[in-house]
Structure 1
Amino acid sequence: MRSHIAEDFSQGSHEANVVRLPSMPRGLALADRVLGLIVSVPAALLVLAEIVLLFSGVCARYVFHQPLVWGDELAGILFLWLAMTGAATALHRGAHMRMTAIVNRAGTEWGAIWDTVALMASLLFLGLIAAPAYAYINQQWMIVTPALEINDGLRVAAIVYGVACMLLMSLVKLLARGWKPAAIGIVISVAVVAGFETAGPVLQSLGNLNLLIFFVGVVGFTVLSGMPIAFSFGLAVFSYLSLSTSMPLEIVVSRMDEGMSQLLLLAVPMFIFLGLLIEMTGMARAMINFLASLLGHVRGGLSYVLIGAMYLISGISGSKAADMAAVAPILFPEMKKRGERPGELVALLSATGAQTETVPPSIVLITIGSVTGVSISALFTGGLLPGFVLAIALCVLVWWRARRVQPVSAERATGAVIGKTLVIALPALALPAVIRFAVVEGVATATEVSTVGIVYSLIAGLLIYRRFDWKRVGPMLVETAALSGAILIIIGTATAMAWALTQSGFSHSLASFMEHLPGGAISFMAVSVVMFVLLGSVLEGIPAIVLFGPLLFPIARDVGIHEVQYAMVVILSMGLGLFSPPFGVGYYGACAVSKIHPDEGIRPIVGYMIALFIGIVVIAAVPWISTGFLKTP
C-alpha cells in the first residue's frame, strides 16, 4: 500500500484534486475556484465568530457577572452554518474521510472508474437530500427562537446552502473527468439504482433483512469505492427509508440537524484551531525540547520523549493529526541520527496515537459525551490515567528493545540547560492546567474552555515565544472549518442511521444479545473490546461512537460497568484498531506525517500493538484506573 492512502482518508484527496485542476477546461476551473471561495470564506469567518462569541460569553459571565442570555442561541445558529459550509469546504479540498485503499490498488484506469462511481453515489445522495432539506425549512419556518426571536428556518437554511454547493462541486468534478471513466461510472450507477427501484416491492417484504442490504451492503460498497463516509451513511439511510418503508424522508434531515446542532460539539472546531495554534506559536516545540533535555542521553531516550510529548500535546490540541504533525518533524531527524530505524519510528508514532485517544480534551471524548449523556467533565478526569497506563506499557517495551543498544553520542544535558528549557517550556506546560482549572472552577463550560486556551496561546505566542505568523491565521481557520465540517456531517448522517436502526428494532435485538451474554459484565466487556477494535480498523472512531454508543452504554450500566470506564475501554479499543495495519488508516496517517513507507513499520508495530492491547485489558479489569479520581456523589 502507498503512504498517501491515509492522506486520502484523513485529509482527503486534496493532492489528487490539485493535480487534476489544471487539466480542467478554463470555465470549469473558474467555477471550481468560485465555489471554493463561496464556502471557505464564510466558513473561516464563522470559526472566528464562534471563538469571539464564546470567549465574550466567558468574560461577560465570569468577569462582568452579566451573562449573554442570547449567546448560546446565536452560537447554535452559527454552528449549523459552520458545519455545512465546513462540510462543503471539505468536499472542495478533498478533506472528507474516505477509505481509498481498494481504489488506489485498482490501477489507473479502474481507479478512475471506481472514483467516478463514488462521485456518482455522492451526487445521488446530495440529490436525494435536496428536496427533503427544502421541505424541512418549511417545517421549521413557523418556529421562532426564544431569545433573539429569529425564524428557525434561517438556521436550517444552512443545510440547503451546503447541499446545493456540494452538489454543484460534484457536478463540476464529474464534468472535468474523461469521457470513458465518466460513462462507465454513470452506467454502473444507473444500473444499480434501476435494480433497486425494480426490486422495491420485494424489498418491502423482506423486513429486517433490509438492514443487511442497506446498512452492510450499500455502506460497505460505497465506503470501499472511496465515497466519503458521511455520504455513504446518508445514502444508505435514504435508500432504506425510501425503498423499504413509508416514512417521510424529511426525518433524515431532521435527524442530521439534531446530530450536528448539539452545542457541545462546538468544542470540536475550537480545539482543532487550538491544536493548530500551539504548533504555529512554538509551544509544542518548547515542550518537546524540555523533555529531550531530560531524557535525550539515555538508551531509547528520544522514544520516551516521543511518548511523553504525544501525551502532553494530545491534552492540548484534541486533534490526532495535529499531534503527530507537531511531534514527528521535530524528533524524527535527531532520532534517525542516533540510529533509530524508520520503521521503529513510525510504529511508535502510531502506537502513541492510539495511546493518547483518551487524553483530554480529545474530540472523541467530547463526541461520546454528547451522544451518550455521560458527563464530559467526568470523561476528561477519567481519561488521564488510562492514557498514562498505556504510556507505561509502551515505555516498558521501549526499555526492553533498547536495553542492549548503546546510546549514540548524546551528551547528558547540564542542569543549566535543563533549567533553561524548563523556563522556556513553562508557559506551554501550563496550558493543560489552565484548561483544567477553567473547567473545574466554573470559569468556562466544556464548550467554552477551548477559547480560554486559544486566548492564552495567542498571548503566549505574541508576548513570550514571539512566533506568531498572522499570514497563517486565515489558512488555519479554513483548515479548522474543513476538518470540523468533515467530522460534523459524519455525526449528522450517523445520527440518522442510528435512528433508523433504532426504529427497525435492531437496537433492541442487539441490546438483548449483549445483555444476555454468558459471563455478565466480563463477557460484555470482552466482546466490546473485540468489536470496537474491528470497528476502529474500518471506520473512524466518531462514526462508530455515534452509531453504537447510544445502544451499548445503557447495557453497560445495566450489567454493572461504570460508564466512564466503559468509555475509556471503547475509545482505546477503537484507537488500537485505527492505528493497526493493514486496515487501520490511522497508521497510514502516521506514515504520511513522518514520510516513511508503510511497509517499514509493519513488523515493528506488532510489539507495540500487543503492549497496547495488554494495557487495555488491564484498564478493563481495573475500574479504578478510569474512575479513581472522579468525584463521588
Structure 2
Amino acid sequence: MNIPSDDPGLAGSLHETGRREPIAWVEQLNKAIGILVEVPAALLVLAEVIVLLMGVTSRYVLHQPLGWSDELASILFLWLAMLGSIVAFQRGEHMRMTAIVGKLQPRSRAFLDLIAIAAAIAFLAFVVHPAYEFAQDEVYVTTPAMGIVNSWRAAALPIGLGLMLIVGVLQIFRIGRLKDAFLALAIVAVVVGGLALVGPLLKSLGNWNLLLFFVVGVGALVLLGVPIAFSFGLATFGYIALTTTTPTVVVVGRMDEGMSHLILLAVPLFVLLGLLIEMTGIARAMVNFLANLLGHVKGGLSYVLIGAMYLVSGISGSKAADMAAVAPALFPEMRKRGAKPGDLVALLSATGAQTETIPPSLVLITIGSATGVSIAALFTGGLLPGVVVGVTLGALVWWRYRGEDLSGVRKASAREIGKSLLVAIPALALPVIIRAAVVEGVATATEVSTIGIVYAVVAGLLIYRQFDWKRVYPMLVSTAALSGSILFIIGAATGMAWALTQSGFSTALADAMKALPGGAVTFMAVSVVAFIILGSVLEGIPAIVLLGPLLFPIARQVGIHEVHYAMVVTLAMGIGLFAPPFGVGYYAACAISRIHPNEGMKPIVGYMVALFVGVVIVAAVPWISTGFVK
C-alpha cells in the first residue's frame, strides 16, 4: 500500500535547494523511458482483467474451464509487477519512511533523498546479473498448460531491474546537483567497499551478522529514507554475499517466488476497482445516504465517516485511496458544524486503522498468501472485528460531541433519506457482492475483483452517469505503479524472510516465543506490541511477509486460532501505521485533508487509545474473529 505523506517528495525537496537547470537530453531520455514503460504497464493491467474475466465466465457461466487462463495471467503478472515497479521508481512512489528525514532542513533532506536513490542504484546493480542468470536457468522449464519456455516469464526480472537501474541513474542526475549526485554515489560506494573489505571478518561473526544486517542495517536504511523494498534487498544481498557461501542468484529466486503468487494478482485488480468507485461516484452515493440518515444527530457526521470507511475500505488496496474517496464528501460540512481540523484528521486516521481487517483487505490477502490461512476464512473473520473497533471509536465520538450545537442543522426528511437510499443501493451492493462471492466460494479473491470492476464500470456508465474516459489511462498507470511498489516490497521481504529462516533465526524465535511464561496470553500481548511497532516502521504487508511464516505456526502451537491471530495482528499494525510520529498513514490523512500534522497530534491520542481498547477486546474474545468461520 503506497501512502503519500506531507513530505514534498524527492523532486520537490531537491527543488527547494535551488537545483540546477535540467539537462535536455536527460529529460528527453527519462520521458521516453516513461512512455516505453507506462504504456505496456497500463495494457498489462487491462489484459489481466480480460484474461481473468474470461476464466471466470468460462468456468462459472459456460462450465468449460480455460486451462491456460491462470497460467497466462501468472506470466503477465510478473511483467506487470516489474514494469509497475519501474513506474513507481520514476515517480518516487516506492514506500519509504520520511518521518525523520522530513523534519530536516531542505538542503539536508535533499541530500538524503539522493543517498536513498544511490542506495537503490547499488542494489539494482548488484542483482541485475544474478537476475539474468536466473532467467537463463528457467529456459529448461516449460509451463504445463501452454507449453512455453518459462524464460518468457522470468525475463521480466533482468529486463525490469535493468530498466529500473537506468531510471535510477537518470533520476539522481535529474533532480540533484551534479556534485551532490556524485557525492551521494561516492558515499554509498565507500560503504559498500568497506563492507566488502571486512567480508572475511564478518563470516567469523556467525549469527551476529543477523543483528548487523537485519536490525542495524535495515533500521539505518529505513530511517535514512531509503525505500523499504531496497532496504530489505540491500540487507539480504549483503548478508548472503558477504557472510555465506550461498549463490546470490538465490536472492532473485526468492524475489520471484514472493511476487509470483497468483493470489497477489488481487492487488492490482482491487487497486483499479478502488479508483473506479471514486471516479464513478459509487463512494459518494454511499456517503450521501449515510449523511442524510445520521447527519442530524450529535457527532452524526463522525459516525458517517466511521461507517463510510467501513463500507469503502479494503476495496481499493490503498488506505490513501479509501480516505480520498470519503473525506472530501464529508469534511466541508463537518467544518461548517464547527469540527476542528485536528479532530477531523485524527478521526480519519483512526478509521483507516479501524478498517484494516475489512475484506477484501490486501493485508488479509497477503496473510493468506504468506501463511496458507484460508482467504475465505479471513474475509469472514474480518467483518466483526472492524465493527467492534468502530464501536469503541463511536463511543469516543459520542463523548467528544455530546455538547454539539445542532440548532442550525436541518434533519433530512424521510423522503430525502429514501431517495438517497435508492441512489445508494447499487453502491451499497458492491461490497456485499464482492465479499459474498468470495465467502460463498463463487469466485476466488483474485477473480472476484474482475466482477467488481465490471460492476463498477456498468454502474458508472448506466446508473450514476459518471465515467470520464480521459481518466482511464492515468488510472491504469497509477494502478500499475501502486501495485508494483507493493509487489516489489513483497519480493524483497520474501528474500529477507528466507535468509532469516536459513540462518536458524526462525527456530530460535519460535523457541523463545514458546518459552514465554503465560502461554497464549503472553504470546498475544507480545505480538500486539511487536506489530504496533512494525506497523509504524514497515507497514502491514512487508511485516506480514517477514514474520507471518514464523509467528503463525507458533500461534497455532500455543492454541490460538489462526484467523483470530490474523485479526489481532492486523489491527495492531493498523494502529502503528496511523499513529504519529512515525506512522505514514497519519501523514497521508493530513495530506488528503490539507491539514498540518501538528494540529492532529493531540486529538489523535484519544482515538489511538480507543483503537487499542478495541484491539484488546478482539484479542480477549476469540469468538469475535472466529464465530462465523466455518
TM-score (norm 1): 0.97
Give the equivalent residue in structure 2 for 1:156: 154
Checking the alignment, whether the CA contact within 8 Å between 1:302 and 1:331 is kept in structure 2 is: yes
The RMSD of aligned alpha carbons is 1.6
Deviates further, 430-439 or 469-478: 430-439
Shift in Å, 1:474: 0.4
Give the equivalent residue in structure 2 for 1:568: 567
Q: CA deviation digits over 1:191-238, x for unaligned, max 9?
A: 211211111111000001111111112212221222111011011111
Q: SS of 1:302's equivalent?
A: helix
Checking the alignment, whether the CA contact within 8 Å between 2:97 and 2:582 is kept in structure 1 is: no
Give the equivalent residue in structure 2 for 1:521: 520
Q: Which of the numbers 41, 44, 48 marks the counterpart of 2:39?
A: 41
Give the equivalent residue in structure 2 for 1:195: 194
Distance 1:122 1:577, change over 3 A: same
Checking the alignment, whether the CA contact within 8 Å between 1:8 and 1:99 is kept in structure 2 is: no
Q: Which of the numbers 88, 91, 99 marks the counterpart of 1:90?
A: 88
Shift in Å, 1:184: 2.6
Deviates further, 311-320 or 542-551: 311-320
Give the equivalent residue in structure 2 for 1:426: 425
Shift in Å, 1:22: 9.3
Q: SS of 2:517's equivalent?
A: coil
Within a 5 Å distance, the mapping from 1:65-464 to structure 2 comes to 65-176=63-174, 177-407=176-406, 409-464=408-463
Unaligned 5+ residue runs, structure 2? Answer: none
Letter in 2 for 1:572: L
1:540 aligns with 2:549: no
Letter in 2 for 1:158: A
Deviates further, 41-50 or 432-441: 432-441
In structure 2, distance between residues paired with 1:522 and 1:296: 41
Checking the alignment, whether the CA contact within 8 Å between 1:141 and 1:152 is kept in structure 2 is: yes
In structure 1, distance between residues paired with 2:162 and 2:609: 47
Shift in Å, 1:112: 2.5
In structure 1, distance between residues paired with 2:570 and 2:440: 27
In structure 2, distance between residues paired with 1:21 and 1:459: 47
Checking the alignment, whether the CA contact within 8 Å between 1:619 and 1:625 is kept in structure 2 is: yes
In structure 2, distance between residues paired with 1:412 and 1:387: 28
Checking the alignment, whether the CA contact within 8 Å between 1:318 and 1:362 is kept in structure 2 is: yes
Q: How many residue pairs end up in the alignment?
A: 626
In structure 1, distance between residues paired with 2:64 and 2:42: 29
Shift in Å, 1:37: 1.1
Checking the alignment, whether the CA contact within 8 Å between 1:318 and 1:360 is kept in structure 2 is: no
Q: SS of 1:254's equivalent?
A: helix
Q: CA deviation digits over 1:477-533, x for unaligned, max 9?
A: 000000000000000000000000000011111111111110000000000000000
Letter in 1 for 2:74: G
Shift in Å, 1:315: 4.7
Deviates further, 183-192 or 303-312: 183-192
Shift in Å, 1:405: 2.1
Q: SS of 2:466's equivalent?
A: coil
Distance 1:416 1:15, change over 3 A: farther
Deviates further, 168-177 or 472-481: 168-177
TM-score (norm 2): 0.97
Unaligned 5+ residue runs, structure 1? Answer: none
Checking the alignment, whether the CA contact within 8 Å between 1:319 and 1:362 is kept in structure 2 is: no
Distance 1:40 1:8, change over 3 A: farther
Letter in 2 for 1:169: V
Give the equivalent residue in structure 1 for 2:25: 27
In structure 2, distance between residues paired with 1:117 and 1:531: 29
Deviates further, 184-193 or 548-557: 184-193
Identity score, percent? 63
Deviates further, 29-38 or 112-121: 112-121
Shift in Å, 1:472: 0.5
In structure 2, distance between residues paired with 1:21 and 1:79: 38
Checking the alignment, whether the CA contact within 8 Å between 2:314 and 2:356 is kept in structure 1 is: no
Q: SS of 2:509's equivalent?
A: helix
Checking the alignment, whether the CA contact within 8 Å between 2:377 and 2:439 is kept in structure 1 is: no
Q: CA deviation digits over 1:149-194, x for unaligned, max 9?
A: 1110110100111111110011112223213322332332222112
Deviates further, 94-103 or 315-324: 315-324
In structure 2, distance between residues paired with 1:276 and 1:161: 29
